[in-house]
């Protein structure tokens, strides 16, 4: 390959990942995996809108993203409240205009033996992890993606939606169930919305250090690392490449798929 042909090929490849001119809405984007994804999509040109329940954490995340040269704004939204989701989408339309990329990342968990799992806690997990993702996806699809015949939806599931917990660890039935549901949601919606040029895919991370996983990792880090073929937990950049792939034109012929970013946990 000549030098000029090589440069041209590199240029074309870069275009596939370029998100300039697109807005990415990332739920649970103030910290953890959501913030990691915001960094990745923002670095490749996307305008970032992050949502969470706590304004202070959102402000800190926006300041962090802005320090990296990323165009970022925040939107306080409680995904367990249907009316809050509707109002947030309305505000987005009046301030931002449209959303081309939706990352359903927000999630909560509850640890308890199944026989003792409180019903109200079950409902809280389902409301945020599954119903909230459904309502926001429905609104964004109807408002922008279907009329424009274009969109990228990335659902952050978990390997916990594919396998059960080690018996030595705390049971989290509601969390596992909702993450498995989000994987089925991904596949069913990909089949339904493919006709509109919308791709729907999922990421299934293994264990990363975060506020949600801190308690589990403080107690079981050695066990989890031992069970991981790559011998390590997820790091601060390990989700970025897969997220960028699924949010960009590089994945234009990929839909309904689940990419496990787990160091190999799910294969054994």
Per-residue model confidence (pLDDT) at position 1: 42
Q: What is the DSSP string of 104-156?
A: E---------GGG--HHHHHHHHIIIIIIHHHHHHHHIIIIIHHHT-EEEEEE
137 closest CA partner among 189, 71, 202, 177: 189
* pLDDT tens-digit readout, 50-75: 999 999 999 999 999 999 999 999 99
Q: Considering the chain, what is the average pLDDT of its residues?
A: 94
Is 196 among the catalytic positions? no
The CATH number fitting domain 8-263, selected from 3.90.1150.10, 3.40.50.720, 3.40.640.10, 3.40.50.1820: 3.40.50.720
Question: Is residue 158 within 8 Å of residue 205, measured between CB atoms?
Answer: yes
Per-residue model confidence (pLDDT) at position 2: 47
Cα gap 209→212, rounded to integer Å = 8
Instruction: Please give the share of the chain, as a percent, with pLDDT higher than 90.
Output: 89
Cα gap 268→264, rounded to integer Å = 7
**Verdict on whether the full-model pTM lies above 0.85:** yes
Q: Greater confidence, 17 or 209?
A: 17
Give the residues across from 1 on adjacent strands: none
Per-residue model confidence (pLDDT) at position 209: 78
Cα gap 22→252, rounded to integer Å = 15
* pLDDT tens-digit readout, 159-193: 999 999 999 999 999 999 999 999 999 999 999 99
Cα gap 223→221, rounded to integer Å = 5
Kindly indicate the confidence band of residue 99, based on its pLDDT and cuts at 50, 70 and 90.
very high
- Given 44, 144, 175, 208, which residue is catalytic? 175
pLDDT value at 140 more than 50: yes
């Amino acid at each position: 390959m000549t030098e000029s042909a090589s440069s041209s090929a590199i240029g074309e490849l870069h275009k596939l990942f370029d998100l300039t001119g697109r807005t990415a809405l990332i739920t649970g984007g103030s910290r953890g995996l959501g913030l990691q994804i915001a960094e990745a999509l923002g670095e490749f040109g996307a305008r970032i809108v992050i949502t969470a329940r706590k304004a202070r954490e959102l402000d800190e995340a926006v300041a962090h993203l802005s320090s990296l040269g990323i165009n970022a704004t925040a939107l306080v939204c409680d995904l367990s409240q249907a009316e809050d989701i509707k109002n947030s989408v309305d505000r987005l339309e009046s301030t931002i205009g449209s959303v081309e990329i939706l990352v359903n990342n927000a999630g909560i968990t509850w640890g308890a033996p199944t026989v003792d799992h409180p019903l109200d806690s079950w409902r809280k997990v389902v409301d945020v992890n599954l119903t909230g993702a459904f309502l926001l996806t429905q609104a964004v699809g109807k408002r922008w993606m279907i009329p424009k015949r274009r969109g990228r939806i990335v659902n952050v599931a978990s390997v916990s939606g594919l396998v059960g917990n080690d018996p030595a660890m705390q049971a989290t039935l509601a969390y596992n169930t909702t993450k498995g549901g989000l994987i089925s949601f991904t596949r069913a919606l990909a089949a339904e919305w493919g006709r509109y040029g919308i791709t729907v895919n999922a990421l299934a991370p293994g264990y990363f250090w975060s506020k949600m996983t801190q308690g589990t990792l403080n107690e079981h880090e050695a066990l989890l690392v031992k069970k991981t073929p790559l011998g390590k937990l997820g790091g601060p950049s390990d989700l970025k490449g897969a997220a960028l792939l699924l949010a960009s034109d590089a994945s234009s012929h990929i839909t309904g798929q689940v990419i496990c970013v787990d160091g190999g946990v799910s294969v054994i």
